[in-house]
Amino acid sequence: MSKVLFLVSPTLNSFVDKRKGTSGNKIDCAFQHFKNGMTSNVQIGVVAGATALAGKAAFNSAVKKAPELAAQLEGKGILTKIAKYISAAPKPVKIAAGALIGLSLLVRSYNTGKIEQKYLDRAQFVDHTFTLDGEGSKAAAKSVPLK
């Protein structure tokens, strides 16, 4: 279950992962994941907004040349208008936006891995279960029967 949650939401994973140790460590880890996700989402929103503004400028200049284009957006919702503006953006702007969004997602994934490792290591040091394999000696001790 923990591996599924890690893929879906690292913030939720922090609370159910038994390897994270204390509640304080789990809360700190969840906060760092939440902060990482929000930073990435804000960056993506800014890039999408800038792309939509460039598209709106291009769309408005096209409306001056062909007024029937303005009828396409009458009575439409805000999301439809934003999608139309993004699709009207110049190709280089869309390519740059896609690259920046991809870079933001790549940095988010990298930071997620760093955060996970940091808080797993912290839990192992607190529990005195640190080993080079990263799983801790408690897990190995459970599998070996005591005499």
The per-residue pLDDT string of the chain (147 residues; one tens digit each, 9 = 90 and over) reads: 555 555 557 777 778 788 888 888 888 988 999 899 899 999 999 999 999 999 988 888 887 887 777 777 777 787 888 888 888 899 999 999 999 999 999 999 999 999 989 988 888 877 665 555 555 545 545 555 555
Write phi, then psi, for 66 (nearest 5 degrees). -135, 90
Closest-CA residue to 53 (of 105, 93, 99, 80): 93
106 lies in a domain?
A: yes
Its domain, for residue 137, covers: 2-142
147 lies in a domain?
A: no
3-state secondary structure of 66: coil
12 lies in a domain?
A: yes
Query: What is the tally of structural domains in the chain?
Result: 1
pTM higher than 0.75 for the full model?
Answer: no
10 lies in a domain?
A: yes
Q: What's the CA gap between 111 and 4, in Å, rounded?
A: 18
138 lies in a domain?
A: yes
Q: What's the CA gap between 73 and 119, in Å, rounded?
A: 49
92 lies in a domain?
A: yes
